[in-house]
Amino acid sequence: MINPIRTKRSRSGFKTVCALFLFGFILSGGFFSAFGDEPQTIRRSLRAIGMGNAFVAVANDESALYYNPAGLNQVKRYITEIVSINGTLNQTNIDLIKKGWEASKNKTDFDANAFIRDLVGAKLHSDIGLGLFSLTGPGWGYSIYASTYLDMTIHNPTVPYFNAVAFGQFNVHGGFALDFMDEVLDVGLGFKATGRVGAGKSLHIFEFVDAQQLQDDLIKDAEPVLAITPDIGVIYNYDRFFNYETKFAAVIRNIGGMDFGNTGKIPMSIDFGVSTETEQLGFDIIMAADWLDFTYATTERKSTKRNIKLGAEIGLWKRSNNHHALALRVGKNGVYSSWGWSMNVPLFPVMIDYAAWSEEVGAVAGSKEDKRQSLQLSFNF
C-alpha cells in the first residue's frame, strides 16, 4: 500500500501529474476513450454539442463539412473563420485543477498518491483544438484544423497504473454541394485527409517520477498515420408546414473507415436526422432529432438510446457571418442533458461559444457518464 507523502515530494508529485496533462495538450488530438467505447471524431461543433449533437439535418454553417456536406447548400452567406481555439475538460480534470489551486493558495501539501487512489476507474479527458483557417460559401467550403488530446484511465488502488492515449492530428477538409429538383434535394460530397501521430500504452505509477523521461518514451512510441476518406450526404427540403421549414437528412461518414493504429479507429457510420426551423416574434427557433451510427459501427454493443440525439436552439439577430448575435441551446446527448450558448459580438469579428455536456464512455446508454465543459473563441466574419 502506498503511504501518503506530505513533504516537498508531495508537491513534486502534483507537478509531475500536471506536467503529464500539459504534455497531453501538446502531443495529443482527436477523441479516444480508454474505456474503448467512446466514438472518435475529427472535430465537433460546440454549437452542435449544446444541441445534444443533433446536427445532421441542421448543418447550415461552417461545421457542415464535419456533419453533413449536403448542408453546404444550406449556407446562404460567406463565412470566413480566420482562427479559432477551443478546449474541453472533463469534471475529473476540473477537480484536479481546483485541488491543485487550493493547495497552492493555502500553501499546503498536495497528496498526489491519495488523489490518484480516489480516481481509480475514472477517466481523465482533455483536448484543445485550433482552427487555422476555413472559408465557407453557398455550396462549398474547406477547413484546416489541428487538435491535441490526452485520455487516461486509472486502475488498481494499491499500485496504480494508467491506460493512456496521447496523440495530435492535423486535418484538411473540403467539400461541395449541389441542388436538384428545383432546390428541393441537396447532395453533398466531402473529402478529408487526417494525419495523426501519437501513442497508446499502459503507464506504471513509478514512471511518473521522471516527467521528462516519460515524455521522451511517449514520443519514441509515437506512430504517424495518414488517413483519407470521403463523406456523402443528402438533405430533402420539405415545403413549409404552418411556418415550419422541415428538413430530412442522411449522411455516410468516413467511407472505408480510418485506422490510426494504437491510437484508435474511426469506422464508417450512417446517420439520419430531421429538423424544423421557424421564426417567432423575431427569434429564430430550430428543433432537431438525429439517429447517429445507425449500424452501430462505432460501438461494440448495440445501444439505441446512446445514439439518439435531440436538440433545440433559439437565436436573435442573425449577423452577416450567418451566426446569431446571441443564441441559447439545450439538448439530449443520448440519455444525458446538454446546454450551451454563443455570443457573436456586434461590430467585431469575435464569437464565443460554450457547451456543458456529457459523453457516454461505457458500453450502453446510462452506464458511465463523463461530464465535460467546452469553450471556444473564434474570429470570423
At 19 the pLDDT is 42
At 141 the pLDDT is 96
Question: Which of 119, 118, 124, 112 lies closest to 152, judged by CA?
Answer: 124
- In total, the chain counts a number of residues equal to 381
135 SS3 class: strand
pLDDT in tens, 282-340: 899 999 999 999 988 877 667 788 899 999 999 999 888 889 999 999 999 999 999 99
Q: Give bridge partners of residue 140 from the DSSP assignment.
A: 137, 176
Q: Give bridge partners of residue 372 from the DSSP assignment.
A: 90, 357
Question: Per-block average pLDDT, block size 10, for the chain (381 residues)?
Answer: 38 42 39 50 94 96 95 92 94 83 72 66 87 93 93 71 82 96 94 90 62 65 87 92 88 94 89 95 95 85 86 93 93 96 90 95 81 95 84
- 0.75 surpassed by pTM: yes
Q: Sign of torsion, CA 352 186 41 79? A: negative
High-pLDDT (> 90) share of the chain, %:
52
At 156 the pLDDT is 66
Here the cell at position 84 is 479559432
Asked if 190 and 50 count as a contact pair (C-beta separation under 8 A), the reply is: no
In angstroms, the CA 177 to CA 250 distance is 14
At 198 the pLDDT is 86
Listed in sequence order, the DSSP H helices in 135-250 are 211-221
At 236 the pLDDT is 97
Here the cell at position 101 is 489551486
List the domains of the chain with CATH numbers.
8-380 (2.40.160.40)
At 100 the pLDDT is 74
